[in-house]
Structure 1
């Protein structure tokens, strides 16, 4: 695996949903991260709800987090709602933090 993907994921763990005190990666919003032959990071993500009022802030923060990795020339963030997000997608740490056990 490309080391830049690990660095992007580490940076994504510093991006928090303003409405939930958990980072977007542990919240389970990031479905896939890859880097293509043109050094473009492609991030497939979802939201906790389709009408999320902070979507623009989240996409901007995620883009900046990925762009800050050396060797990443461009970032494409794609939103999807398939499969729809649910709390089972959260990391164990996130579920503990939010009291979902």
Structure 2
């Protein structure tokens, strides 16, 4: 996947918020990996801030909806993974400042 497509995907994913925290999934560090097949099927490996997140299905639906307008992405598969475990260290500097985390 070329850098322009990856930038478009990450930009779209910045519009998806974790509803419990009120911050986007990119700056929270929840997006671990993107893989694009030649046929346009995108696999997003991501995690959630907590294993028992009751809104996991909502977040997955929002990820798919955010990516549907990117022409190169024909379909999206979202894998929720737990390794490596998410920690606050994965958050961007922006997210840490916005949430008051040092």
Which residue is 1:81 aligned to? 82
Length-normalised TM-score, structure 2: 0.94
Give the root-mean-square deviation of aligned CA atoms: 1.0
Unaligned runs of 5+ in 1: none
Q: How far 1:32 moved relative to its partner?
A: 0.8
Which residue is 2:25 aligned to? 24
Matches within 5 A, 1:6-45: 6-45=7-46
SS of 1:38 mapped into structure 2: coil
Q: How far 1:66 moved relative to its partner?
A: 1.7
Number of residues of Structure 1 aligned to a counterpart in Structure 2: 101
Per-residue CA distance 1:11-49 (angstroms, 9 max, x = gap): 111111111121000001000112111111110000001
Q: Which runs of 4+ in 1 moved over 4 A?
A: none
CA distance in 2, matches of 1:7, 1:34: 14
